[in-house]
Structure 1
Amino acid sequence: RMLPNTEHPLVSFGQLLEGEVPSRREELIYRNYMPPPVSPKSCTEKFSIDSVLLRVALYKGERRQAEYEVYGEQTLLDLRRSLSCATTKILKWQADELKRQQVENTVRRPSESALFYIEDVVYLCGEEDLAKPLLEWLSRRSTACPPTRDMADTSFEDLQLQLGKQYIFMHNGDCEHTLIFTRCWLTEHTADRRRSLYPRLVWQAKDGAAKCHVCDKLAATWEVHGDKLADTSPCFLCEQCRYQWHYARVSEGGHALRSDYQVYPVIT
């Protein structure tokens, strides 16, 4: 039976050896899957020709992940619903997999709760108040706390923004990103003003699949943490190298050789 290792921040789906050594056939294999693009629903409703258009870039650390276009009448909540990252995919997959295996679910699911910090104002959505730890910390330091507002009640026309300045977007507890507004212009007569198209994804980074650290040829399908025999942690392995390294030959029973590490599927 496959059990999660709850000592790690993420749930490991490696085998926990108890009594009989498990076979590799019981190991979970998750293959990368890229969903097809979804076309926006046809809609004839258009926003005003006098609206302002903005381009905003989403960063994780120093890496630019995506760029979106929004129009002035849209709210911050509209933008928040379009923003996503690998953390959301991983949390959803782990929670669904634990439910499928009927294992007690200790992993949080992706939440709609999020936070924007723009020009000394905190904008919130969802049931979880992500600003509470920050406000409590500022209060203990006798520092003035920034005001909080609802994303759904704040449009981009209500904001005073600076192009090129870094703002904060936080979701899924403490997954933090940087937002930078890069362009601002008036709507042109030739622009497609259908509301259903916005926020519009206009650029997205291509996530090249990580190569296996052993063969350096095939795409990695497993991420291994805490393996004492690996050169690095995490160590990325393709399916073939993973089983050659961690399992005995099929003729010898195909059992797991060790259990002193955590392993996670590579999800893209």
Structure 2
Amino acid sequence: MENIYRIKCGELINIRAKFTEFKNELCPTSVAHLPQTYEDVKELLDIRSGAEEELLEDSISLNNLAQPDDIPIFDVNLHDLHAKPGQKSIEIPKKAMRLRCMRHRVEENSVRYHTNIPRKYNRYRYIEHKIDNTDESCDLVPLEEILITVRVYEPFVYKRGEGTARKPRLSQEFVVLGRQELTELRDKIYCHCQFGPFKDISNDFESIKNQETEPPEETNTNREDDFGFFFIADTFYNDDRTTKTDYTKEIREWMSRRDDIGPAQVKSMQNVKFEDLNVRVGYPQLYRHYVNCEHIISFTDIRLLAPDDSLKSTDYPLLRCVSSSKMTLCQVCGIIEATFTVKKSNAHIQDPVFLCRNCLISFHYIDGKKVGNFQAFRYYGNRPIIH
């Protein structure tokens, strides 16, 4: 596959082998364990006197790297940027308040501007996690576990032979342990396809009228009728917990007939740990589920567990950030979030069009009867549910 999609990135590595070699270089055979605290460093270097300790502190002090014209360094908590953005209210002119649409807008939502959030940080919503490593349930040892950062991108439709100017948009970012199986990450990935299959409900007015506006809260996005797989490097990792049917067989047969792609292997997802994978850091891989819903995934960071990370294995896979994509507003009123998608309707300029429940009913139904020809489907948006 890399012969087709060439990209400049790191070499193909086996995570377990690479970090075993790395830890051996950090920790000689004469040392029982890697030093984690300052006291461990003193014991390792056999420093006991106060003079030797002061000399060590002076030699490793960051002040040795300081320059007179250095820019001051400030601690930035990305979560706090969004939690407390320092919003500034905008005073609306009295003439503007004569408009009914403006008065309605003020009643629905207060008009505010975010004034101090850098644009590059405004793309994502960083999740705040309360870390308490003094708890007795902490079962992980720093510098002994591998942490892997996995990015999952939103799906988009690609048609062969047609270019696309849309860049992949991040949906979620997870931190997983090297000891965890691929199924543990798969069960955490959010996708609005979990609420399907989506059927045309335009003829069922009562269903539309009584439809809940919020999506159902589900912690496990893996349904029994959903077959999914990861394609990483040259291997398909199938989730065969619910079915033994291999839906990648035809894909692998096609790949084997291509000289520029080559054959692919197949393994069970629940029998493979992340540390056993062969990956290229930053190289796009594939996650596919619900028949034809495809997500690009990538491994962006691999490192050892640090003392200030969560030391509870139950906290992983850890959702670190999600896309801060704005809600899709109704394209008729422009105020309420869209909860329906309307297709093949001559009454709209666009196809499809996103509508809220009130606009769908008032625009396409009279006394509960469908007016014209169109199709209506439920729409839950692409914003991940954070539990």
* TM-score normalised to structure 1 length: 0.70
Contact between 1:43 and 1:194, CA under 8 Å: does it hold in 2? Answer: no
Contact between 1:113 and 1:129, CA under 8 Å: does it hold in 2? Answer: no
Residue 121 (structure 1) aligned with residue 227 (structure 2):
no
Residue 136 (structure 1) aligned with residue 136 (structure 2):
no
Aligned to 1:196: 314
Aligned to 1:52: 146
2 CA distance for matches of 1:233 and 1:174? 21
Structure 1: unaligned runs, 5 residues or longer: 1-38, 102-108
Measured after TM superposition, the shift of residue 231 of structure 1 is: 0.8
Alpha-carbon deviations, 1:222-267, whole Å to 9, x = none?
Answer: 210110221111111222322222122xxxx453222x21101222
The partner residue of 2:196 within 90, 109, 125 is 90
Q: What amino acid sits opposite 1:136 in the alignment? A: E
Residue 180 (structure 1) aligned with residue 306 (structure 2):
no
Max radius of gyration: which structure? 2
Contact between 1:88 and 1:110, CA under 8 Å: does it hold in 2? Answer: no
2 CA distance for matches of 1:246 and 1:76? 45
The partner residue of 1:255 within 360, 369, 378 is 369
* TM-score normalised to structure 2 length: 0.50
Alpha-carbon deviations, 1:149-208, whole Å to 9, x = none?
Answer: 112221121122221110111111121111111111111123212111111111112343
Higher relative contact order, structure no. (Cα contacts within 8 Å, ≥ 6 residues apart): 1
Residue 147 (structure 1) aligned with residue 147 (structure 2):
no
Q: Percent identity?
A: 26
Q: What amino acid sits opposite 1:52 in the alignment? A: I
Task: Answer 1 or 2: which has greater strand percent.
Answer: 1
1 CA distance for matches of 2:297 and 2:268? 18
Instruction: Give the aligned length.
Output: 210
Q: CA RMSD in A?
A: 2.6
The partner residue of 2:179 within 58, 73, 78 is 73
The partner residue of 2:378 within 248, 265, 268 is 265
Q: What amino acid sits opposite 1:161 in the alignment? A: V
Secondary structure of 1:82 counterpart = coil
Contact between 1:116 and 1:122, CA under 8 Å: does it hold in 2? Answer: yes
Contact between 2:281 and 2:301, CA under 8 Å: does it hold in 1? Answer: yes
Contact between 2:230 and 2:287, CA under 8 Å: does it hold in 1? Answer: yes
Contact between 2:238 and 2:266, CA under 8 Å: does it hold in 1? Answer: yes
Aligned to 1:156: 274
The partner residue of 1:234 within 352, 360, 374 is 352
Contact between 1:110 and 1:172, CA under 8 Å: does it hold in 2? Answer: no
The partner residue of 1:205 within 323, 331, 339 is 323
Aligned to 1:24: none
Contact between 2:256 and 2:264, CA under 8 Å: does it hold in 1? Answer: no
